[in-house]
Amino acid sequence: MNVLIKSATIVDNNSSEHLKSRDILIEEGVIKAIGETIQDKNAQVIDLPNLHVSKGWFDSSVSFGEPGYEERETLQNGLDVCQNSGFTSVIVNPNTNPVTDHAALIEFIKNSTTSHLVDAYPMGALTEKSNGQHIAELFDMKKKGAVAFGDYKSCISDTNLFKIALQYSKTVDTLIQVFANDKSMSSDTQMHEGTTSTNLGLKAQPRLAEVIQLQRDLEVLKYTGGKLHFAYISTAESVEIIKEAKKQGLNVSCSVALPNLMFTDAMLAEFDSKYKVMPPLREPSDIEALRTGLRDGTIDMVTTDHNPLNIELKKTEFENAEFGTIGLESAFGMLQTVFNLEDTIAILTRGKNRFGIDDFSIKVGEKAQLSLFNPDVNWDQSEGDIRSKSKNSIYLNETHKGKAYGIINNNRVYVSN
Protein backbone atom coordinates (compact mmCIF):
# COMPACT_ATOMS: atom_id res chain seq x y z
CA MET A 1 0.00 0.00 0.00
CA ASN A 2 1.27 3.47 -0.92
CA VAL A 3 0.55 6.44 1.34
CA LEU A 4 1.21 10.09 0.51
CA ILE A 5 1.31 12.59 3.35
CA LYS A 6 0.80 16.12 2.03
CA SER A 7 2.29 19.34 3.43
CA ALA A 8 3.21 18.01 6.85
CA THR A 9 5.60 19.82 9.18
CA ILE A 10 8.22 17.28 10.23
CA VAL A 11 9.21 17.39 13.90
CA ASP A 12 12.29 15.19 14.27
CA ASN A 13 15.57 16.76 15.36
CA ASN A 14 17.46 13.76 13.94
CA SER A 15 16.14 14.49 10.45
CA SER A 16 17.52 16.99 7.95
CA GLU A 17 13.88 17.94 7.29
CA HIS A 18 13.26 19.04 10.89
CA LEU A 19 10.57 21.76 11.09
CA LYS A 20 10.14 21.84 7.30
CA SER A 21 6.81 21.36 5.50
CA ARG A 22 7.19 18.34 3.26
CA ASP A 23 5.33 15.65 1.36
CA ILE A 24 6.20 12.11 2.46
CA LEU A 25 5.71 9.07 0.24
CA ILE A 26 5.46 5.69 1.93
CA GLU A 27 5.59 2.40 0.01
CA GLU A 28 4.96 -0.93 1.72
CA GLY A 29 5.56 0.61 5.12
CA VAL A 30 8.88 2.26 4.25
CA ILE A 31 9.60 5.95 3.61
CA LYS A 32 10.52 6.18 -0.09
CA ALA A 33 10.67 9.93 -0.69
CA ILE A 34 10.51 13.24 1.17
CA GLY A 35 10.13 16.44 -0.85
CA GLU A 36 8.39 19.75 -1.34
CA THR A 37 5.92 18.27 -3.84
CA ILE A 38 5.36 14.57 -4.54
CA GLN A 39 2.71 13.06 -6.79
CA ASP A 40 1.43 9.49 -6.74
CA LYS A 41 -2.00 8.83 -8.24
CA ASN A 42 -2.14 5.37 -6.69
CA ALA A 43 -1.42 6.45 -3.11
CA GLN A 44 -3.80 6.99 -0.23
CA VAL A 45 -3.52 10.74 0.43
CA ILE A 46 -3.41 12.18 3.95
CA ASP A 47 -4.05 15.94 3.81
CA LEU A 48 -5.17 17.42 7.14
CA PRO A 49 -5.29 20.95 8.63
CA ASN A 50 -2.03 22.06 10.24
CA LEU A 51 -0.68 18.53 9.90
CA HIS A 52 2.52 17.75 11.79
CA VAL A 53 4.35 14.43 11.85
CA SER A 54 6.96 12.94 14.17
CA LYS A 55 8.52 9.61 15.01
CA GLY A 56 6.05 7.28 16.71
CA TRP A 57 5.21 8.14 20.31
CA PHE A 58 6.12 5.66 23.05
CA ASP A 59 4.77 4.95 26.55
CA SER A 60 6.77 2.70 28.87
CA SER A 61 3.94 1.92 31.30
CA VAL A 62 0.30 1.26 30.43
CA SER A 63 -2.23 -1.05 32.08
CA PHE A 64 -5.06 -2.64 30.09
CA GLY A 65 -6.57 -5.15 32.51
CA GLU A 66 -6.84 -8.14 30.19
CA PRO A 67 -6.61 -10.92 31.19
CA GLY A 68 -8.79 -10.77 34.28
CA TYR A 69 -9.95 -7.16 34.37
CA GLU A 70 -11.57 -6.86 30.95
CA GLU A 71 -14.32 -4.64 32.39
CA ARG A 72 -11.64 -1.97 32.91
CA GLU A 73 -9.97 -2.28 29.51
CA THR A 74 -9.35 -5.00 26.93
CA LEU A 75 -6.12 -5.29 25.01
CA GLN A 76 -7.91 -4.46 21.76
CA ASN A 77 -9.70 -1.39 23.07
CA GLY A 78 -6.58 -0.25 24.90
CA LEU A 79 -4.55 -0.32 21.70
CA ASP A 80 -7.38 1.47 19.89
CA VAL A 81 -7.04 4.21 22.51
CA CYS A 82 -3.29 4.28 21.82
CA GLN A 83 -3.67 4.78 18.08
CA ASN A 84 -6.29 7.47 18.59
CA SER A 85 -3.92 9.21 21.02
CA GLY A 86 -0.90 9.12 18.68
CA PHE A 87 1.05 6.25 20.28
CA THR A 88 2.68 3.62 18.08
CA SER A 89 4.43 1.61 20.82
CA VAL A 90 3.58 0.83 24.45
CA ILE A 91 4.82 -1.47 27.19
CA VAL A 92 1.99 -3.37 28.88
CA ASN A 93 2.25 -3.78 32.67
CA PRO A 94 1.93 -7.19 34.36
CA ASN A 95 -0.83 -6.11 36.80
CA THR A 96 -3.37 -8.50 35.32
CA ASN A 97 -5.37 -11.29 36.95
CA PRO A 98 -3.53 -13.59 37.11
CA VAL A 99 -0.34 -11.56 37.23
CA THR A 100 1.79 -11.84 34.08
CA ASP A 101 4.52 -13.86 35.76
CA HIS A 102 5.04 -16.77 33.37
CA ALA A 103 5.71 -17.43 29.70
CA ALA A 104 2.17 -18.49 28.75
CA LEU A 105 0.74 -15.10 29.67
CA ILE A 106 3.50 -13.25 27.82
CA GLU A 107 2.64 -15.35 24.79
CA PHE A 108 -1.08 -14.59 25.25
CA ILE A 109 -0.46 -10.83 25.22
CA LYS A 110 1.81 -11.06 22.19
CA ASN A 111 -0.63 -13.24 20.24
CA SER A 112 -3.60 -11.05 21.20
CA THR A 113 -1.95 -7.85 19.94
CA THR A 114 0.20 -8.93 17.02
CA SER A 115 -2.27 -7.84 14.31
CA HIS A 116 -2.78 -4.31 15.65
CA LEU A 117 -1.25 -1.10 14.27
CA VAL A 118 0.17 -0.35 17.70
CA ASP A 119 3.14 -2.42 18.89
CA ALA A 120 2.47 -3.84 22.37
CA TYR A 121 5.46 -5.09 24.35
CA PRO A 122 4.69 -7.06 27.53
CA MET A 123 6.55 -6.53 30.77
CA GLY A 124 6.87 -9.63 32.91
CA ALA A 125 6.51 -9.60 36.66
CA LEU A 126 9.83 -9.73 38.48
CA THR A 127 8.53 -11.99 41.25
CA GLU A 128 5.83 -14.65 41.28
CA LYS A 129 2.41 -13.00 41.66
CA SER A 130 4.37 -9.76 42.20
CA ASN A 131 4.46 -10.60 45.91
CA GLY A 132 8.21 -10.07 46.35
CA GLN A 133 8.95 -13.57 47.60
CA HIS A 134 10.30 -15.67 44.70
CA ILE A 135 11.86 -14.66 41.37
CA ALA A 136 9.54 -15.33 38.42
CA GLU A 137 10.39 -17.22 35.21
CA LEU A 138 12.51 -14.43 33.69
CA PHE A 139 14.34 -16.50 31.10
CA ASP A 140 11.22 -18.22 29.78
CA MET A 141 9.28 -14.95 29.65
CA LYS A 142 12.06 -13.20 27.79
CA LYS A 143 12.09 -15.96 25.16
CA LYS A 144 8.39 -15.30 24.57
CA GLY A 145 8.85 -11.55 24.16
CA ALA A 146 9.02 -9.80 27.55
CA VAL A 147 11.12 -6.63 27.18
CA ALA A 148 11.73 -6.02 30.91
CA PHE A 149 10.69 -7.23 34.35
CA GLY A 150 9.12 -5.42 37.27
CA ASP A 151 6.39 -5.70 39.89
CA TYR A 152 3.88 -2.95 39.14
CA LYS A 153 3.82 -0.34 41.93
CA SER A 154 5.42 -2.78 44.35
CA CYS A 155 9.00 -2.84 45.62
CA ILE A 156 10.97 -5.86 46.81
CA SER A 157 11.50 -5.39 50.54
CA ASP A 158 13.89 -8.35 50.78
CA THR A 159 17.26 -6.83 49.87
CA ASN A 160 18.93 -10.18 49.28
CA LEU A 161 16.15 -11.25 46.90
CA PHE A 162 16.56 -7.98 45.02
CA LYS A 163 20.31 -8.62 44.79
CA ILE A 164 19.68 -12.10 43.38
CA ALA A 165 17.17 -10.68 40.87
CA LEU A 166 19.70 -8.19 39.55
CA GLN A 167 22.41 -10.80 39.34
CA TYR A 168 20.15 -13.19 37.46
CA SER A 169 18.97 -10.43 35.12
CA LYS A 170 22.55 -10.07 33.90
CA THR A 171 22.62 -13.70 32.76
CA VAL A 172 19.53 -13.12 30.58
CA ASP A 173 20.64 -9.58 29.61
CA THR A 174 17.43 -7.84 30.57
CA LEU A 175 16.29 -4.62 32.21
CA ILE A 176 14.83 -4.62 35.72
CA GLN A 177 12.18 -1.99 36.51
CA VAL A 178 11.54 -0.95 40.10
CA PHE A 179 9.19 1.31 42.02
CA ALA A 180 10.99 3.22 44.76
CA ASN A 181 8.54 3.22 47.64
CA ASP A 182 9.44 1.82 51.06
CA LYS A 183 6.38 -0.16 52.18
CA SER A 184 7.01 0.40 55.87
CA MET A 185 6.61 4.16 55.41
CA SER A 186 3.83 4.14 52.81
CA SER A 187 1.38 1.48 53.98
CA ASP A 188 -2.21 2.82 54.13
CA THR A 189 -1.12 6.35 53.23
CA GLN A 190 -3.50 8.51 51.23
CA MET A 191 -1.37 11.34 49.83
CA HIS A 192 1.92 13.25 50.07
CA GLU A 193 3.09 14.32 53.52
CA GLY A 194 2.94 18.10 53.75
CA THR A 195 0.85 21.05 54.77
CA THR A 196 -2.20 19.86 52.83
CA SER A 197 -2.19 16.40 54.42
CA THR A 198 -1.85 17.98 57.87
CA ASN A 199 -4.81 20.27 57.20
CA LEU A 200 -6.91 17.37 55.91
CA GLY A 201 -5.91 15.00 58.68
CA LEU A 202 -4.94 12.23 56.27
CA LYS A 203 -2.24 9.61 56.78
CA ALA A 204 0.51 10.68 54.41
CA GLN A 205 3.56 9.36 52.60
CA PRO A 206 6.84 11.25 53.13
CA ARG A 207 9.36 11.88 50.38
CA LEU A 208 11.69 9.69 52.43
CA ALA A 209 9.69 6.59 51.46
CA GLU A 210 10.81 7.09 47.86
CA VAL A 211 14.28 8.40 48.56
CA ILE A 212 15.44 5.68 50.97
CA GLN A 213 14.21 2.88 48.68
CA LEU A 214 15.89 4.48 45.68
CA GLN A 215 19.17 4.76 47.56
CA ARG A 216 19.02 1.12 48.66
CA ASP A 217 18.34 -0.09 45.14
CA LEU A 218 21.25 1.93 43.77
CA GLU A 219 23.60 0.51 46.38
CA VAL A 220 22.60 -3.01 45.35
CA LEU A 221 23.10 -2.06 41.69
CA LYS A 222 26.63 -0.87 42.49
CA TYR A 223 27.34 -4.28 44.00
CA THR A 224 25.75 -6.48 41.34
CA GLY A 225 25.91 -4.52 38.11
CA GLY A 226 23.06 -4.91 35.66
CA LYS A 227 20.49 -2.54 34.17
CA LEU A 228 17.97 -0.77 36.39
CA HIS A 229 15.02 1.49 35.55
CA PHE A 230 13.21 3.51 38.21
CA ALA A 231 9.61 4.02 37.18
CA TYR A 232 7.60 7.03 38.40
CA ILE A 233 10.09 9.06 40.43
CA SER A 234 8.29 12.00 42.02
CA THR A 235 10.59 14.04 44.29
CA ALA A 236 13.26 16.67 43.83
CA GLU A 237 15.64 14.56 45.93
CA SER A 238 15.22 11.59 43.59
CA VAL A 239 16.20 13.71 40.59
CA GLU A 240 19.47 14.67 42.26
CA ILE A 241 20.20 11.10 43.35
CA ILE A 242 19.63 9.77 39.82
CA LYS A 243 21.80 12.52 38.37
CA GLU A 244 24.66 11.56 40.68
CA ALA A 245 24.22 7.84 39.93
CA LYS A 246 24.54 8.53 36.21
CA LYS A 247 27.68 10.57 36.82
CA GLN A 248 29.12 7.54 38.63
CA GLY A 249 28.53 5.44 35.53
CA LEU A 250 25.74 3.24 36.87
CA ASN A 251 23.51 1.70 34.21
CA VAL A 252 20.36 3.42 35.44
CA SER A 253 17.40 5.21 33.90
CA CYS A 254 14.11 6.61 35.18
CA SER A 255 10.69 7.87 34.20
CA VAL A 256 8.17 10.27 35.68
CA ALA A 257 4.40 9.82 35.59
CA LEU A 258 2.51 12.58 33.78
CA PRO A 259 0.31 13.60 36.76
CA ASN A 260 3.41 14.38 38.84
CA LEU A 261 4.43 16.96 36.23
CA MET A 262 1.04 18.66 36.21
CA PHE A 263 -0.59 18.84 39.64
CA THR A 264 0.34 19.47 43.26
CA ASP A 265 -1.05 17.95 46.44
CA ALA A 266 -3.16 21.09 46.89
CA MET A 267 -5.59 19.58 44.35
CA LEU A 268 -6.68 17.13 47.07
CA ALA A 269 -8.07 19.86 49.33
CA GLU A 270 -11.64 18.95 48.33
CA PHE A 271 -11.09 15.19 48.67
CA ASP A 272 -11.58 14.63 44.93
CA SER A 273 -10.50 11.03 44.31
CA LYS A 274 -9.56 11.69 40.67
CA TYR A 275 -6.38 13.30 42.06
CA LYS A 276 -5.54 10.21 44.11
CA VAL A 277 -2.59 8.69 42.27
CA MET A 278 0.59 6.80 43.14
CA PRO A 279 3.19 8.22 43.50
CA PRO A 280 1.14 10.90 45.22
CA LEU A 281 1.00 14.43 43.91
CA ARG A 282 3.81 16.37 45.55
CA GLU A 283 4.69 20.07 45.98
CA PRO A 284 5.60 22.86 43.51
CA SER A 285 9.34 22.42 44.21
CA ASP A 286 9.09 18.77 43.21
CA ILE A 287 7.26 19.60 39.97
CA GLU A 288 9.90 22.15 39.03
CA ALA A 289 12.73 19.70 39.72
CA LEU A 290 11.01 16.98 37.65
CA ARG A 291 10.48 19.33 34.70
CA THR A 292 14.10 20.47 34.89
CA GLY A 293 15.24 16.85 35.06
CA LEU A 294 13.34 16.10 31.87
CA ARG A 295 14.87 19.04 30.06
CA ASP A 296 18.46 18.20 31.04
CA GLY A 297 18.12 14.46 30.43
CA THR A 298 18.37 13.25 34.02
CA ILE A 299 14.85 11.86 33.63
CA ASP A 300 14.81 9.64 30.56
CA MET A 301 11.10 9.52 29.73
CA VAL A 302 7.54 10.35 30.69
CA THR A 303 4.86 7.73 31.12
CA THR A 304 1.13 8.35 31.26
CA ASP A 305 0.89 5.44 33.72
CA HIS A 306 -2.47 4.80 32.05
CA ASN A 307 -4.46 2.73 34.55
CA PRO A 308 -8.18 2.23 33.84
CA LEU A 309 -10.28 1.49 36.92
CA ASN A 310 -13.90 0.56 37.55
CA ILE A 311 -16.05 3.55 38.47
CA GLU A 312 -16.85 2.10 41.90
CA LEU A 313 -13.12 2.03 42.71
CA LYS A 314 -12.84 5.82 42.25
CA LYS A 315 -16.34 7.17 42.99
CA THR A 316 -16.30 6.30 46.68
CA GLU A 317 -15.09 7.73 49.98
CA PHE A 318 -11.65 9.22 49.47
CA GLU A 319 -9.88 6.89 51.89
CA ASN A 320 -11.37 3.84 50.15
CA ALA A 321 -10.71 5.02 46.58
CA GLU A 322 -8.04 3.31 44.51
CA PHE A 323 -4.92 5.08 43.25
CA GLY A 324 -4.76 5.62 39.50
CA THR A 325 -5.77 7.55 36.41
CA ILE A 326 -5.95 7.04 32.68
CA GLY A 327 -3.80 9.35 30.57
CA LEU A 328 -3.01 8.21 27.02
CA GLU A 329 -5.56 10.57 25.50
CA SER A 330 -4.19 13.56 27.43
CA ALA A 331 -0.43 13.06 27.11
CA PHE A 332 0.29 15.30 24.12
CA GLY A 333 -2.21 17.99 25.01
CA MET A 334 -1.09 18.28 28.63
CA LEU A 335 2.66 18.16 27.95
CA GLN A 336 2.28 21.04 25.53
CA THR A 337 0.85 23.22 28.29
CA VAL A 338 4.25 22.93 30.00
CA PHE A 339 6.85 22.33 27.26
CA ASN A 340 7.30 23.76 23.78
CA LEU A 341 6.47 21.62 20.75
CA GLU A 342 10.00 20.37 20.09
CA ASP A 343 10.57 19.39 23.72
CA THR A 344 7.16 17.73 23.92
CA ILE A 345 7.85 15.57 20.87
CA ALA A 346 11.34 14.71 22.13
CA ILE A 347 9.79 13.56 25.41
CA LEU A 348 7.10 11.48 23.71
CA THR A 349 9.52 9.75 21.35
CA ARG A 350 12.41 8.80 23.62
CA GLY A 351 12.94 5.71 25.73
CA LYS A 352 12.48 2.85 23.24
CA ASN A 353 16.16 1.99 23.04
CA ARG A 354 16.34 1.56 26.81
CA PHE A 355 13.93 -1.35 26.48
CA GLY A 356 15.60 -2.79 23.39
CA ILE A 357 12.82 -1.56 21.09
CA ASP A 358 13.71 -0.40 17.59
CA ASP A 359 13.49 3.33 16.93
CA PHE A 360 13.08 4.95 13.51
CA SER A 361 13.75 8.47 12.24
CA ILE A 362 11.92 10.29 9.48
CA LYS A 363 14.40 9.50 6.73
CA VAL A 364 14.25 7.82 3.35
CA GLY A 365 14.67 4.08 3.78
CA GLU A 366 13.44 3.99 7.37
CA LYS A 367 10.31 2.18 8.51
CA ALA A 368 7.31 4.52 8.54
CA GLN A 369 6.42 4.55 12.23
CA LEU A 370 4.81 7.95 12.56
CA SER A 371 2.52 9.99 14.78
CA LEU A 372 0.21 12.55 13.11
CA PHE A 373 -1.03 15.56 15.05
CA ASN A 374 -2.15 19.20 15.17
CA PRO A 375 -0.19 21.05 17.87
CA ASP A 376 -2.29 24.23 17.88
CA VAL A 377 -5.84 23.13 18.70
CA ASN A 378 -7.07 23.85 22.24
CA TRP A 379 -9.71 21.65 23.85
CA ASP A 380 -11.12 20.79 27.26
CA GLN A 381 -11.40 17.10 28.03
CA SER A 382 -14.87 15.76 28.78
CA GLU A 383 -16.00 12.17 29.29
CA GLY A 384 -17.20 12.20 25.67
CA ASP A 385 -13.58 12.59 24.54
CA ILE A 386 -12.51 9.41 26.33
CA ARG A 387 -12.43 6.20 24.28
CA SER A 388 -11.10 4.12 27.12
CA LYS A 389 -13.72 1.84 28.70
CA SER A 390 -12.93 3.50 32.04
CA LYS A 391 -13.32 7.25 32.54
CA ASN A 392 -11.12 7.82 35.60
CA SER A 393 -9.16 10.73 34.14
CA ILE A 394 -7.34 13.23 36.32
CA TYR A 395 -7.39 15.56 33.30
CA LEU A 396 -11.18 15.93 32.99
CA ASN A 397 -12.11 19.58 32.37
CA GLU A 398 -8.43 20.54 31.93
CA THR A 399 -7.51 22.59 28.86
CA HIS A 400 -5.27 20.66 26.46
CA LYS A 401 -3.08 22.18 23.76
CA GLY A 402 -2.73 19.96 20.70
CA LYS A 403 -4.42 16.77 19.58
CA ALA A 404 -3.39 13.63 17.74
CA TYR A 405 -4.86 12.76 14.35
CA GLY A 406 -3.62 9.17 14.40
CA ILE A 407 -0.65 7.02 13.43
CA ILE A 408 1.07 5.15 10.62
CA ASN A 409 2.74 1.88 11.60
CA ASN A 410 3.19 -1.67 10.35
CA ASN A 411 2.20 -0.66 6.82
CA ARG A 412 -1.21 0.56 7.98
CA VAL A 413 -2.85 3.92 8.57
CA TYR A 414 -5.24 5.12 11.26
CA VAL A 415 -6.72 8.62 11.19
CA SER A 416 -9.47 9.54 13.67
CA ASN A 417 -12.82 10.78 12.43
DSSP letter string, 139-178: HHHHHHT--EE--TT-----HHHHHHHHHHHHHTT-EEEE
Average pLDDT over all residues of the chain: 97
Report whether 350 contacts 58 (CB < 8 A).
yes
In a domain, 35, yes or no: no
Average pLDDT of span 287-312 = 97
- Phi and psi dihedrals of 158, rounded to 5? -75, 105
The kind and range of the H/E element at 22 are strand 21-27
- pLDDT tens per residue, range 196-207: 999 999 999 999
Total number of domains constituting the chain = 1
Q: What is the pLDDT of residues 330-362, one digit of tens each?
A: 999 999 999 999 999 999 999 999 999 999 999
Mean pLDDT of 276-300: 98
- 17 occurs within a structural domain: no
In a domain, residue 86? The reply is yes
Quick one: average pLDDT of 219-237? 98
pLDDT at 156: 94
Mean pLDDT of 276-287: 98
Backbone angles phi, psi at 333, to 5 degrees: -65, -30
Q: What is the mean pLDDT of residues 233-243?
A: 98
Q: Is residue 337 part of a domain?
A: yes
* Domain CATH code at residue 235: 3.20.20.140
Q: Quick one: pLDDT band at residue 221, thresholds 50, 70, 90?
A: very high
Q: Is the pLDDT score of 59 beyond 80?
A: yes
d(CA 137, CA 351): 25
**47 belongs to a structural domain:** no
Rounded distance, CA 100 to CA 107, Å? 10
pLDDT at 35: 96
Using 50, 70 and 90 to split pLDDT, how confident is the model at 122? Answer: very high
- Of 305, 359, 380, 385, which is the active-site residue? 305
Residue from 99, 100, 98 nearest 110 by CA: 100
Burial of 167 (0-12, 13-18, 19+ CB in 10 A): middle
pLDDT of res. 197 = 96
- 71-81 confidence digits (pLDDT tens): 999 999 999 99
Question: Quick check: 14 pLDDT over 90?
Answer: no
Asked whether the beta carbons of 2 and 25 are under 8 A apart, the reply is yes
Q: What band does 48 get if pLDDT is binned at 50, 70 and 90?
A: very high
Mean pLDDT of 367-384: 97
Q: Are 109 and 75 a contacting pair, CB within 8 Å? A: yes
pLDDT per position as a tens digit, 395-415: 999 999 999 999 999 999 999
Contact 238, 252 (CB under 8 A): no
Residue 1 has pLDDT above 90, yes or no: no
Taking 80 as the threshold, does the pLDDT of residue 417 lie above it? no
315: in domain: yes
**What residues have CB less than 8 Å from 71, skipping those under 6 apart?**
65, 310, 389
Q: Is residue 24 part of a domain?
A: no
Residue 311 burial class via C-beta count within 10 angstroms: exposed 0-12, middle 13-18, buried 19 and up: exposed
Sequence length of the chain is 417
pLDDT digit string, tens, across residues 258-278: 999 999 999 999 999 999 999
Q: Which domain holds residue 343?
A: 56-355
Tell me the CA distances in angstroms from 181 to 34, 159, 279, one per residue in order. Answer: 48, 13, 8
Residue 41 located in a structural domain: no
pLDDT tops 90 at residue 94: yes
- The mean per-residue pLDDT over the stretch 102-106 comes to 98
CA distances from 141 to 13, 24, 127, 132, 414 (A): 35, 38, 12, 17, 31
217 counts as catalytic: no
One-letter identity of residue 124: G
Q: Is 219 helix (H, G, I), strand (E, B) or coil?
A: helix
